[in-house]
Amino acid sequence: MRGQLAFALAALSALSVIVAVLSFGLRPDAFFVGDPGVKLASTRNALRFPTHPLNIPLPAIGTEGTPHVESFFAVHGDHAHAVTSEFFPLLSAPMLAAFGLRGLYVLPALGFIATLAACAWLAVVLDPRRNAALVVLAAAVGTPFLFYGLEYWEHTLALASGVAGTALLLDAARRRPGRHADAGAAFAAGLLMGAAIVLRPEAACYTAAVVLGSRTLVHRPTWRSLAVAAAGISAALLPLEVYTIVHFGSFVPGHISANAGLVDGLWPGERLHLASDWLLPSGWNTAGPLRMSSFWSVAPAAIFGVAAFAMRTERKERPFLASVAIVTTLLVVLTAPNDGGGQWGPRYLLFAYVPLVLSAADAVQRFRRGIASAMLIVVLLAACVWVQRAAYRQLRGAKATYGRVVDFVARNTRPSGPVVTDVWWLDQIASSAVDRGTFLFAGEATTGHDIVRRLSDARVAEVTVFRSREVSADLDGWTPASCYEEQAREELDVRGLVAIRLGLHC
């Protein structure tokens, strides 16, 4: 057992170094999609306004705040709120203050390593004969976890917390079979699961799947232990709930209510779309899967894990693993507000990979002897490495491309100078170069004209307008009925972006 622990710690240490090296090969000021950019805006706001960190000031014209924000920021009175996880930016703020933009990636990387450790812990809790190091390696190279450990997202922290809570709860039940588990351990397990839910709402689906699946275990938690764990979950959710009630006068947190609004009367058809988009395999080319949202095409361990369920085994917790994978997937498909947007594998389904990793590691551990088995393992390992290479190239390529947008915006704006745009994603992609206090979003052409006219009336000397040939009906800069004239124009061959600098002439 000590030897296996040493191997697992050595694997975690080596992977920590690999993550650090890979991270330094990526631009820290650009993101794979817009979501991390929204989180960066919230994180910076937490540093600027520590007494009310979630209240983002509205963009101003003169001294007057305006409601001209895009849909990822919800107006609430004299301020706005980012429609993302409320607490992740707060946790990230000290890292941003200490290490600059590189600090944004500290918690995702730590979450990735902690997720691997939690998977190994859960594996050994379920069966001490499991090879913890093998589980660590299977989770690291056979799932999308590494991808999310390299981007500014809260997924790996939620995974680590939820899986660690599961391991703690089941470990307490194993140590006291047939009796009430230690209340402290059950409550702590609930706190960890609750923290996962606060970070990622779909963790609730995984938690429900664990509770249901635990009834198939030989050493299952008692109902009293589950009740104590539920109290721990409630305690973890309580601060956000109190804040939501006091600040919004609602019981549903803003992140959840905003996303819930995306589910409309087309719910049955949307469920079919999600199931086909996520659960059908994707074809591949030399760059990677043609459809990066496919659950299977980005995770060889998941495929191998499902196949392993058909093999004979003496492990008695297989029904638990299968039920957690199936129930988690089913509940997420039924409740997801959207398809998750740009992603590497369905990010709402990351928890479903955990039981499949354990199943895949079981199969590898069983077949590690013999030439045929060795060849199978080599092929599986090669497939895993190829997938991880494709994931990293996709991430690096997207960051490089959107880094050009960041540079373009930074080059064409002035410190504290107003920016007007009808490109809804620009402030997200170029978040590191955007001052939220002066970024005005014009959802309609009439709004753009009105904003420019008001800036003109306020005698703002210079304004930068960003349009896009893909989005905008015209590129005239909204100058009619104002004192502005075009002074300079620059175009970028990324999404047809055009920067128009306007200056007063009357």
Maximal CA-CA distance, the chain: 85
What tokens does 380 get? 């599986």
Q: How many residues are there in the chain?
A: 506
Q: Is 419 helix (H, G, I), strand (E, B) or coil?
A: strand
State the Cα–Cα distance between residues 158 and 203, nearest whole angstrom.
7
472: three-class secondary structure by DSSP: coil
Position 458 in a domain: no
Sign of the C-alpha dihedral computed for residues 345, 349, 351 and 355 taken in this order: negative
Strand order in the sheet with 56-57: 56-57, 79-82, 73-76
User: Into how many domains does the chain fold?
Assistant: 1
Neighbours of 233 (CB within 10 A): 23
Instruction: Spell out the long-range contacts of 500-505 with Cβ–Cβ below 8 A and sequence spacing 24 or more.
Output: 500/464, 500/465, 500/466, 500/467, 500/475, 501/412, 501/462, 501/463, 501/464, 501/465, 502/452, 502/462, 502/463, 502/464, 502/465, 502/477, 503/461, 503/462, 503/463, 504/456, 504/459, 504/460, 504/461, 504/462
CA atoms within 13 Å, Cβ hemisphere of 278: 24
Q: Amino acid identity, residue 474?
A: D
Please check whether residue 76 lies inside any domain of the structure.
no
Which residues constitute the domain of residue 98?
2-30+85-366
- What are the residues whose beta carbons fall under 8 Å from the beta carbon of 432, sequence distance 6 or more? 29, 30, 37, 40, 101, 406
Residue 495 lies in a domain: no
pLDDT value of residue 237: 96
Per-residue confidence (pLDDT) for residue 1, from 0 to 100: 61
Whether residue 492 lies inside any domain: the answer is no
Question: Do 341 and 354 contact (CB within 8 A), yes or no?
Answer: no
Q: Cα(427)–Cα(419) distance, rounded to whole angstroms?
A: 10
Cα separation, 141 vs 360, whole angstroms: 12
How many CA atoms does the CB half-sphere of 385 hold within 13 Å?
Answer: 6
Tell whether 472 is covered by a domain: no
CB atoms within 10 A of CB 454: 16
pLDDT block averages, 10 residues each, the chain of length 506? 80 96 97 96 96 93 90 92 92 97 98 98 93 94 97 98 97 76 89 97 97 93 94 96 89 68 68 94 88 94 88 81 97 93 96 96 77 77 93 97 97 90 94 90 89 91 92 77 89 94 88
Strand 439-441 vs strand 419-421: parallel, antiparallel, or unpaired?
parallel
Alpha helices, H only, 412-477: 426-429, 445-457
Residue 452: both structure tokens together: 């420019």
44 close to 413: Cβ distance less than 8 angstroms = no
Could you tell me the end-to-end alpha-carbon distance of the chain, in angstroms, rounded to an integer?
Answer: 81
Cα angle 59, 429, 90; round to 5: 70
Residue 500 — left, alpha, or beta (φ > 0 → left; ψ -120 to 50 → alpha)?
beta
Q: From 254, 236, 228, select the one nearest 77 (Cα to Cα).
A: 254
The verdict on residue 74 lying in a domain is no
pTM: 0.94
Cβ neighbours of 16 (radius 10 Å): 15
CB neighbourhood size of 305 (10 A): 28
- Residue 373 has a pLDDT of 67
